[in-house]
Structure 1
Amino acid sequence: MSDSDSPETQAQVCHRCLMRLETSAGGVDLPRRIRATLARSGCGERVRVSLTGCLGWCPVGRVSVQLFRDGQASDVVLVDPARDGEELIAHLPCPSMETT
């Protein structure tokens, strides 16, 4: 994939938050589940999900996700791992949000 084809929005998931979650929350699998949630919402091709180091928010039972648009940091969203990243949809230009 060339740079011109890469998504303009990135969702960087805090690796430290994932490691601090209870095992039952399935933290290590969360990035894949976020990708699946975004794909169902029509954002799958527009958003790249990746891991990053500590973002400094450290919420208990949640995961920090830093959004970048056109290379610029924008929102930090605190994600409930049980919701598989649904909170991110409100912060992204997903086609499914236009109908609600």
Structure 2
Amino acid sequence: MNETSAQETQAQVCHRCLMRLETSAGGVDLPRRIRATLAARGEAVRVSLTGCLGWCPVGRVSVQLRRDGQVSEVVLLDPERDGAELIAHLSCPSAETP
């Protein structure tokens, strides 16, 4: 992934999901942990909070990736994995189609 497209990738984390997590899950700190997990893989992704993404999973957090006007499917994260599930979705499937 080149530097330009990495700068344009954004992970939008559902604020409501974060607030619904139990305190022991560390939801408040999850956006920083997601950024650190992706940075360790060489991916510069801006993480921001957003409103409800239409999924309300118990014990999970809804995240959607955006790049160049394209959006990925909503990914349901396990807070204990610090966003590792997003690695497989970084290419934003809708951005791969011709």
TM-score range, shorter chain: 0.7 to 0.9
CA distance in 2, matches of 1:78, 1:62: 6
Segments of 5+ residues of structure 2 without an aligned counterpart are 92-98
Per-residue CA deviation, residues 25-48 of structure 1 (Å, 9 max, x unaligned), is 0000000000000011111x2x21
Segments of 4+ in structure 1 off by > 6 A?
A: none
Segments of 5+ residues of structure 1 without an aligned counterpart are 94-100
Report sequence identity in percent.
Answer: 83
Conserved? CA contact 2:64–2:73, under 8 Å: yes
Change (3 A) 1:55 1:5: closer
TM-score of the two chains, using structure 1 as the length reference: 0.81
CA RMSD of aligned residues (A): 1.7
TM-score of the two chains, using structure 2 as the length reference: 0.83
Q: Which of 84, 87, 99 is equivalent to 2:85?
A: 87
